[in-house]
């Protein structure tokens, strides 16, 4: 094909993809299907790989991600990232207005009001109109470089629409929209994985993932609200926002200039209920003095600007009735009371239930059946009962008593360790516990058996195909072909066909190659999370060593406390658990760390932190060298760290901390000499 035609085709595809990205994220419109979009992106990537001379670092294909980050370097903010002071009343707003006018000695103060989005603050730098770096807020002085992940945000321009050659810094808020958050959780539910808790935490966690291709799947958006570099031509904050829009940034259309504090209050009232109609979580209004020279005169305190303030909306509260209180059983046997409510719209969604947590919460509230209660959304995400309206209570109502038996299997409940939580101890035969443990075992951070979901697991248990996770590895095709089970939420019956059966069996077989630490986490030992499982597997090297370890040996592992050590010891003293582990061993799963013979003990028990880029080795290779010579790796500096290996572009924050701790800083050449 003619190279000019190729070049033009690539340009057309880039323009189309940029157009659809802007339409989807800025205007919440989708005029082509995801499939059509993916085909265009695939065609662009193929053309760019086939004709590398036409590759461009500003192409929308860059936003697909794919870079692996082993550690985030820290950089100093050119201007400190401050937090806003909060206000909750008209009186507070009046006080703010008076303070501003007193300092600048003017009465004609204009303000700009913007919605306060519930996301992650970012500082983004551009050099010669091209994206250079993105930092988190961090401690306000230093932020983590998360550029690879921020580059996946489709609304953030890589190249600015500007004829001038500019170096500038902007600040904004990264977030996941309500609709995309819902889609992400629907995918998690289908895979039988634990659901994300809320959009804000999901966005925050996503931006610190190591693999940017995973970040790109989270569909993070970003609103820009501040220009930190000003040539002096722009005189107001309102003009800054207009300018940012003109050069390609995603600036929300909801901001407004207000002539006085009265108009500010009107803006606040206008959005108090309307904000729930938006596709993004908001928790207040940001009020900024409009004139930039006034902002300069007002200055900052050590924590906050004097020229801006945040008005926080009170959590919306409504009254509804408690129709019933039911009890749910988790995989650990913990029994949780849940209030079933008359459906009510609050915070833009319909609420039908709220957790009552434990005995103590029921006693504290004195909540009873048919009580009218005040309910609000904690953090505007999780519904909670805040109080009971006792004057509306039926005079014949009776105190609600916590169940003494398991709602699923009928076993007597026990309260352990003086906690407020009741536990069903029928560990092996209580169906919610059994299904919960299997669902945990197959989750992404454990054995990652992604072709199984909660309903399929329950179907296997009901049909006596499995009872413990190890039984998964005994399943044969004829056991599950045409197996029927009920989809509880939809009330339909599903039948497993050939393709589903083969996918399930392939996924189960593939899980056998997962590392020992994944399996240890998948066992569901109480208090043993992913990180703790990695520490235990690294220290003991095999499941047999952990089984035979004493309480004192387990608590001797770095960062393992009494609760964890006691839980691990108790788990491995149960013969049923030992039998389960033997069955996993027979199935061919990894129950020990991959053995690598040490080259020497030159670095025995020395703890290293690695930072920066190196000439002779990759970071992974340096880690391997340390381990092969008896040393240990730590991700963060502490008083226990012996050496910080410093490479090119090492974060200045690490250097300062190492000097404060007295940790010896060595070069790559110094390290080579040591081994």
Give the tens place of pLDDT for each residue, 68-80: 555 678 888 888 8
- 8 A C-beta contact, residue 242 and residue 283: no
Where are the CATH 1.10.150.20 domain residues in the chain?
A: 431-513, 516-586
Q: What is the pLDDT of residues 305-363, one digit of tens each?
A: 999 999 988 777 889 999 999 999 988 898 999 999 999 888 667 889 998 988 888 98
Pick the CATH number of 607-674 from 1.20.120.530, 3.90.1150.10, 3.10.20.90, 3.40.50.10190: 3.40.50.10190
Residue 25 has pLDDT above 60, yes or no: no
Kindly report the average pLDDT of the chain as a whole number: 87
CB atoms within 10 A of CB 203: 26
> Which of 3-12, 190-199, 466-475, 499-508 shows the lowest mean pLDDT across its residues?
190-199
Q: Give first-to-last CA distance, the chain, whole Å.
A: 55
Domain 516-586 classified CATH 3.20.20.370? no
pTM of the predicted structure, to 2 decimals = 0.54
How much is the pLDDT for 263? 97
Q: What is the pLDDT of residues 212-269, one digit of tens each?
A: 888 988 999 999 999 987 667 899 999 999 999 999 999 999 999 999 999 999 999 9
Q: Which fold has domain 3-64?
A: Helix Hairpins (1.10.287)
Beta-sheet pairing, 349-355 with 334-346: antiparallel
The dihedral sign for the CA sequence 586, 592, 593, 599: negative
Where are the CATH 3.40.50.10190 domain residues in the chain?
A: 607-674
High-pLDDT (> 90) share of the chain, %? 46
The dihedral sign for the CA sequence 37, 40, 46, 52: negative
Q: What is the pLDDT of residues 520-567, one digit of tens each?
A: 999 999 889 887 888 898 889 899 999 999 999 998 887 788 889 999
- 8 A C-beta contact, residue 438 and residue 446: no
Which superfamily does 431-513 belong to?
Answer: 5' to 3' exonuclease, C-terminal subdomain (1.10.150.20)
Residue 595 has pLDDT above 70, yes or no: no
CB atoms within 10 A of CB 62: 20
Where are the CATH 2.40.50.140 domain residues in the chain?
A: 317-415
How much is the pLDDT for 247? 92
Q: Which fold has domain 75-312?
A: D-amino Acid Aminotransferase; Chain A, domain 1 (3.30.470)
Contacts 24+ apart (CB under 8 A), 323-328: 323/369, 323/370, 324/369, 325/356, 325/362, 325/367, 325/369, 325/400, 326/407, 327/403, 327/407, 328/407, 328/432
Using CA atoms, how far apart are residues 647 and 617, in angstroms rounded to an integer? Answer: 10
Using CA atoms, how far apart are residues 302 and 164, in angstroms rounded to an integer? Answer: 35
Any residues with CB less than 8 A from the CB of 127 and at least 6 apart, and which? Answer: 167
The dihedral sign for the CA sequence 53, 59, 65, 70: positive
How much is the pLDDT for 521? 93
Is residue 116 among the annotated active site residues? Answer: yes
Q: What is the pLDDT of residues 49-99, one digit of tens each?
A: 888 888 777 787 776 655 555 567 888 888 889 888 888 889 999 999 999
Where are the CATH 1.10.287.610 domain residues in the chain?
A: 3-64
Residue written as token pair 């004139």: 291
Of 40, 63, 116, 625, which one is the catalytic site residue?
Answer: 116
SS3 string of 106-157? CCCCCEEEEEEECCEEEEEEEECCEEEEEEECCCCCEEEECHHHHCCCCCCC
Any residues with CB less than 8 A from the CB of 70 and at least 6 apart, and which? Answer: 210, 619, 620
3-class secondary-structure state, position 58: coil
- Helices (H) then strands (E): counts for the chain: 24, 24
């Amino acid at each position: 094909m003619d190279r000019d035609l190729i070049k033009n085709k690539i340009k057309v595809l880039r323009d189309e993809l940029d157009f659809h990205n802007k339409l989807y994220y800025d205007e919440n419109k989708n005029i082509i299907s995801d499939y059509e979009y993916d085909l265009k992106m695939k065609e662009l990537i193929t053309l760019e790989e086939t004709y590398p001379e036409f590759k461009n670092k500003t192409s929308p294909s860059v936003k697909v991600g794919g870079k692996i980050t082993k550690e985030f370097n820290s950089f100093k903010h050119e201007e400190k990232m401050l937090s806003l002071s909060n206000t909750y009343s008209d009186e507070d707003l009046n006080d703010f207005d008076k303070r501003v006018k007193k300092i600048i000695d003017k009465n004609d103060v204009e303000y700009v009001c913007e919605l306060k989005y519930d996301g992650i603050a970012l500082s983004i730098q551009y050099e010669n109109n091209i994206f250079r770096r993105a930092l988190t807020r961090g401690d306000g002085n230093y932020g983590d470089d998360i550029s690879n992940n921020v580059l996946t945000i489709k609304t953030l321009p890589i190249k600015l629409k500007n004829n001038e050659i500019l170096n500038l810094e902007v600040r904004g808020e990264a977030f996941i929209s309500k609709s995309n958050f819902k889609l992400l959780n629907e995918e998690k539910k289908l895979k039988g994985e634990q659901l994300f808790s809320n959009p804000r935490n999901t966005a925050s966690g996503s931006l610190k993932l190591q693999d940017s291709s995973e970040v790109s799947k989270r569909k993070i958006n970003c609103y820009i609200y501040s220009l930190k570099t000003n040539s002096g031509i722009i005189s107001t904050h309102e003009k800054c926002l207009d300018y940012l829009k003109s050069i390609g940034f995603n600036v929300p259309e909801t901001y407004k200039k207000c002539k006085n504090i009265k108009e500010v209050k009107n803006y606040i009232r206008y959005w108090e209920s309307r904000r729930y109609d938006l596709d993004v979580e908001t928790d207040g209004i940001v009020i900024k003095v409009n004139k930039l020279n006034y902002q300069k005169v007002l200055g900052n305190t050590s924590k906050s600007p004097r020229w801006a303030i945040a008005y926080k909306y009170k959590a919306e509260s409504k009254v509804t009735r408690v129709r019933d209180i039911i009890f749910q059983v988790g995989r650990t046997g913990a029994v949780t009371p849940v209030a079933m409510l008359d459906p009510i719209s609050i915070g833009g969604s319909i609420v039908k239930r709220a957790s009552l947590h434990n005995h103590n919460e029921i006693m504290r509230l004195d909540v009873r059946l048919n009580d009218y209660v005040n309910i609000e959304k904690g953090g505007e995400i999780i519904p909670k009962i805040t109080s009971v309206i006792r004057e509306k209570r039926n005079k014949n109502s009776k105190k609600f008593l916590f169940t003494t038996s398991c709602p699923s299997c009928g076993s007597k409940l026990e309260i352990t360790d003086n906690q407020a939580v009741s536990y069903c101890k029928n560990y092996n035969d209580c169906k919610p516990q059994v299904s919960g443990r299997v669902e945990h075992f197959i989750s992404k951070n454990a054995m990652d058996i992604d072709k199984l979901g909660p309903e399929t697991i329950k179907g296997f248990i009901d049909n006596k195909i499995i009872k413990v996770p190890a039984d998964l590895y005994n399943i044969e095709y004829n056991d599950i072909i045409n197996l029927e089970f009920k989809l509880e939420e939809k009330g339909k019956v599903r039948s497993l066909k050939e393709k589903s059966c083969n996918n399930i069996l392939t996924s189960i077989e593939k899980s056998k190659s997962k590392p020992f630490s994944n399996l240890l986490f998948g066992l569901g030992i109480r208090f043993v999370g992913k990180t703790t499982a990695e520490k235990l597997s690294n220290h003991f090297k095999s499941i047999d060593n952990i089984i035979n370890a004493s309480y004192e040996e387990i608590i001797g592992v770095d960062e393992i406390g009494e609760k964890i050590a006691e839980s691990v010891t108790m788990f491995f003293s149960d013969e049923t658990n030992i039998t389960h582990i033997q069955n996993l061993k027979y199935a061919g799963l990894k129950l020990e760390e991959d053995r690598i013979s040490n080259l020497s003990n030159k670095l025995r028990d020395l703890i290293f932190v690695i930072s920066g880029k190196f000439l002779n080795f990759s970071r992974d290779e340096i880690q391997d060298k340390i381990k092969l010579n008896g040393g240990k790796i730590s991700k963060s500096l502490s008083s226990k760290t012996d050496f910080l290996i410093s490479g090119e572009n090492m974060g200045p924050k690490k250097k300062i901390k190492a000097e404060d701790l007295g940790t010896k800083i060595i070069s790559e050449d110094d390290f080579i000499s040591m081994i």
